[in-house]
Structure 1
Amino acid sequence: MQHISESSLNELPSRVKYLRDFIGFTSDDAAALHAARDVVAPLVPTIVDMVYEKLLSFDITSKAFVPRQTGYSGKAPTKLSELSLEHPQIKFRKDFLAGYLAKLVTMDYEKIETWQYLDKVGLMHTGQAGFAHRVTKPALRVEYIHCAILLGYVEDILVNTVINHPDLDLNARAANKNSMFVMPPGPNQQPLYRVTVEMDLNPFLPVSYVTKIYRCGGGGHTELIGEFAFAVNNKRAVIRMGDTTTRLSSALYSVNSSPRHFNWILGNRLHWDCRQVLEDGSPRCVCYLPSDAGVRSSTSSTPESRGLDIAIFTPPPPDRSPPLPDATLLVYPYGHQLLDEIIVSALVVERMLTR
């Protein structure tokens, strides 16, 4: 366990080190930001408009833009109804945000001056001056909740923009550690699927990890094909594909109570047999179709006779120390028409094996 002294956080270098260690921000992440510069730069005006459209859609955030802004010399609004994206004072604020976004993808994150600037940006929103030019200006105080949700909103815009952009190389797009791509073999290939994992903190449900699977199309477009959620400290698990949402137990269940052999009945009937373990500890999961799929009930837990193998999925060994090898998925020709279900069910099965 890494020890962090509370008193050490009074010093900026210590705070920066703690922040970087906590979120895992490395030089590779900084390089990914720099690689995204040419993609983000042309989109800054659109992103800024989206941000201010959001801010002006709530009165609690809009009211901060009614008073005359520091450095603005034009006509100030007198009431909320006068605010719009075209108001001169809002345009003035938009220019500041555009400059800030440009800095984020160009700054040298190894220099303390970068963090000093970011620290001052945060400080100036707490009622303190932050920057020298604000010492004689009226105090600016924005409650943390508004800062946090706005940063989350901007992050969502930027991540989706970057991760779906076809002109960025795979390493730059995959810098988001909660996302991965399913890639075809061979160099310079475009991803077939994108898989993301996030936490669902719905206060009325058990805390869950939600996995979403998107099919990648041309021009960086993606389509959500399925998602499933496993509760962290609870047996609750749900899955959605297309128009069907159901408990996982209604879509996947074990054969003869085996923890490594499964029936999948959400859509097409598939079987996953993961009882073979390779020498390195990786499970070898074979997906096959039952030979008599039209005879047995789809809710039967009795294994049908084995039919056609359509895919082999080999996830990393669950007990191996990082770095883990890449998972591999071999899909036979007949399985191509069932690829969406193979991908989704393979990820569900892998989660069942490591649960």
Structure 2
Amino acid sequence: MANHIEKRLLNTNVRYRFDYIAKFLNFTVDDIAVLNNFAKIAHPHIQTLVEVIYHKLFEYDITKEYFIKQNFVFKGVKTTDNNQLTLQSEQMLFRIDSIRKYLYRILRQHIWNDAFLQYLSTIGKMHTNLAGAHSIDIDYIHINAMLGYLQHTFIEIILSSEELDDAMKKTTLLALNKLFWIQNDFFSMHYIVTPHDGN
């Protein structure tokens, strides 16, 4: 007999949604332990990895223009000319630091409690137009592309690591893949539940 899943709760209860996705993907505490172990290997690479991601986002005007928008947390000097915006601009250094902290956290998190799941959901929501003054309002296609590129970059770190044997590389790749699909779902839920118009 098929397990019953309550559609309403999938769209309103972060824990319920995560439990469904995690069970579907067979994401377990073992995967979390693998990610925690990988965090130690990834740590020296994350600063460079983040810079590579933003270089990629700067390759396209449609993604670069989002960084001209005001970030509700950023209080420094803001560059408003797209042509003058560089990765050394204050708002970019702020964003680079923010995503660096985010990556450290998702890899190091030992217990995926309700507070952490809410964090993942909030990260997703703030990139839509649903978070009020906190909204960054980015079309989902760019989120999806960035997550894919980010995962690809992490895969390269795993495959080139001399600290992981072949069996552990496979285990880490599988755990990382589940992590990114879960995070992607916490982005997509806010676009799917309420249609996103974007700019």
Contact 1:52 1:85 in 2 (8 A): yes
Cα deviations by residue, 1:115-170 (Å, 9 ceiling, x for unpaired): 111011111112233xxxxx6x3632111111111111101111221233111344
Corresponding position of 2:156: 160
Task: Note the C-alpha offset of 1:87.
Answer: 1.5
Aligned positions, number: 172
Corresponding position of 1:174: 170
Distance 1:85 1:148 in 2: 22
Q: Which amino acid aligns with 1:28?
A: D
Task: Note the C-alpha offset of 1:3.
Answer: 3.3
Q: Which amino acid aligns with 1:3?
A: H
Distance 1:139 1:12 in 2: 19
Classify the secondary structure of the residue corresponding to 2:152.
Answer: helix
Contact 1:76 1:89 in 2 (8 A): yes
Corresponding position of 1:7: 8
Q: Could you say which structure has the larger radius of gyration?
A: 1
Q: Which amino acid aligns with 2:119?
A: Y
Contact 1:47 1:157 in 2 (8 A): yes
Cα deviations by residue, 1:55-82 (Å, 9 ceiling, x for unpaired): 1111111111113322323321222111
Contact 2:36 2:110 in 1 (8 A): no
Matches within 5 A, 1:61-72: 61-72=63-74
Distance 1:40 1:148, change over 3 A: same
Cα deviations by residue, 1:264-300 (Å, 9 ceiling, x for unpaired): xxxxxxxxxxxxxxxxxxxxxxxxxxxxxxxxxxxxx
Corresponding position of 1:60: 62
Classify the secondary structure of the residue corresponding to 2:83.
Answer: helix
Q: Which amino acid aligns with 1:112?
A: D
Corresponding position of 1:126: 128
Structure with more relative contact order (C-alpha pairs < 8 Å, separation 6 or more): 2
Distance 1:152 1:3 in 2: 31
Cα deviations by residue, 1:312-348 (Å, 9 ceiling, x for unpaired): xxxxxxxxxxxxxxxxxxxxxxxxxxxxxxxxxxxxx
Contact 2:33 2:110 in 1 (8 A): no
Contact 1:128 1:139 in 2 (8 A): yes
TM-score after normalising by structure 1: 0.46
Q: Which amino acid aligns with 2:8?
A: S
TM-score after normalising by structure 2: 0.79
Structure having the higher strand fraction is 1
Task: List alignment gaps of at least 5 residues for structure 1.
Answer: 130-134, 179-355
Contact 1:127 1:141 in 2 (8 A): yes
RMSD: 1.9
Distance 2:29 2:13 in 1: 22
Matched, 1:88 2:90: yes
Task: Note the C-alpha offset of 1:171.
Answer: 4.4
Q: Which amino acid aligns with 1:16?
A: F
Matches within 5 A, 1:333-348: none
Structure having the higher helix fraction is 2
Task: List alignment gaps of at least 5 residues for structure 2.
Answer: 176-199
Q: Which amino acid aligns with 1:121?
A: I
Contact 1:36 1:168 in 2 (8 A): no
Matched, 1:47 2:43: no
**Structure 1 segments of 4+ aligned residues over 6 angstroms from their partners:** none
Contact 2:71 2:136 in 1 (8 A): no
Contact 2:57 2:64 in 1 (8 A): yes
Corresponding position of 2:137: 141
Matches within 5 A, 1:207-286: none
Distance 1:124 1:2, change over 3 A: same
Distance 1:138 1:102 in 2: 22
Percent identity reads 28
